[in-house]
Chains A and B, each alone.
Chain A
Amino acid sequence: MIMNMDSLVFLIISAFTIASALGVVLSRNIIHSALALILTFLGVAMNFFDLGASFLGLVQILVYAGAISVLIIFAIMLVMKPDSAATNPPTPSRDTHFIGGLLAWLVMIGVGMAIGLTRWPAMASEPAEADAVGTLATLLLGNYVVAFEAAAILLLLAAVGAIILAKGDENP
């Protein structure tokens, strides 16, 4: 079977993404987990580029692979124990592993079967990829401006709350 270029690109990108996601979950060193998480974010960003959502891919790289991963790595450095090989151990309880694995498999099989059985409606219109940023801007500052403002307030509150929480008591 000869695969065309699109399928090959998709397969490579998704294999990369899933492998690094497994690295996040299975690694026993939390620094390695964090680095694998960055690779996963980059893999998802590549998927976005592949899907024609280039603005969202850039946002993914900037916000996730840039900001959030740096935040996570800083937090790891603040709380890490000296023995880095044992910083991210799996739960000792076998039952928890069993329930978690069972739940994950149930989700994957159930949703996978649901995806296979669903008849998707035909595409309403051809994708307009040329001006995605303009479309998003019109939506964000037009019909959805209230949600946009609410998101801004949420971010402000989260930043202030994070500072207050992390600073702790002045005089304990």
Chain B
Amino acid sequence: MIGLNHYLLLGTVLFGIGAYGVFAKRNAIAVLMSIELMLNAVNVNFVAINRFLQPAAGMGQLFAIFVIVVAAAEVAVGLALIISIYRHRKSVDLNDFNLLKW
């Protein structure tokens, strides 16, 4: 029988994969994609808790909608930043992004 724990474990595994991607990737866009994976893991948890525990009707889905909204805003600004840096540095390698180092 599939219960809450299975879905929470799925969310945990997705989050772990995303966390590893943030560390192991050099391309800034790939790091953004890993962050999207982590946000999706959180959404899975919200919807599963909404389905199995039902704290109040629809509450988990409401939270997930706000996560999706913030993720959309975040990815738009993040990609704009990457394109803006690419124009100056001709690179999307995170090791080349040392504007704030001195």
Contact = CB atoms under 8 A, between A and B. Distances in A.
Given A30-B30, A90-B25, A105-B16, A128 B57 contact: yes
A116 B61 CA distance: 24
A166 B84 contact: yes
A146 interface: no
Interface residues of B, number: 71
B27 A51 contact: no
A46 to B, nearest CB: 11
A124 to B, nearest CB: 5
A151 interface: yes
Contacts of A115: 5, 8-9, 12
Contact of B68 (A52, A59, A126): A59
Interface in B69-102: 69-77, 79-84, 86-87, 92
A5 B12 CA distance: 24
B80 A24 contact: no
B23 A91 contact: yes
Interface string A146-157: 010001001101
A105 B54 CA distance: 30
Nearest to A8: B2
Contacts of A165: 77, 80-81, 83-84
B43 A68 contact: no
A85 interface: no
A41 B36 CA distance: 9
B82 A44 contact: no
A100 B19 contact: yes
Interface in B50-69: 50-59, 61-62, 64-66, 68-69
Interface in A8-65: 10, 14, 17-18, 21-22, 24-25, 30, 33-34, 37, 40-41, 44, 47-48, 51-53, 55-56, 59-60, 63-64
Interface string A94-121: 0011011101110110011001100011
Given A64-B40, A64-B68, A101 B20 contact: yes
Interface of B: 1-2, 4-10, 12-27, 29-30, 32-34, 36-37, 40, 43-44, 47-48, 50-59, 61-62, 64-66, 68-77, 79-84, 86-87, 92
Given A25-B34, A79-B86, 5 more contacts: A75-B29, A75-B79, A75-B82, A79-B29, A139-B58
Question: Shortest 7 CB-CB distances between A and B: which pairs?
Answer: A100-B23, A158-B73, A165-B80, A135-B58, A162-B80, A104-B20, A25-B21
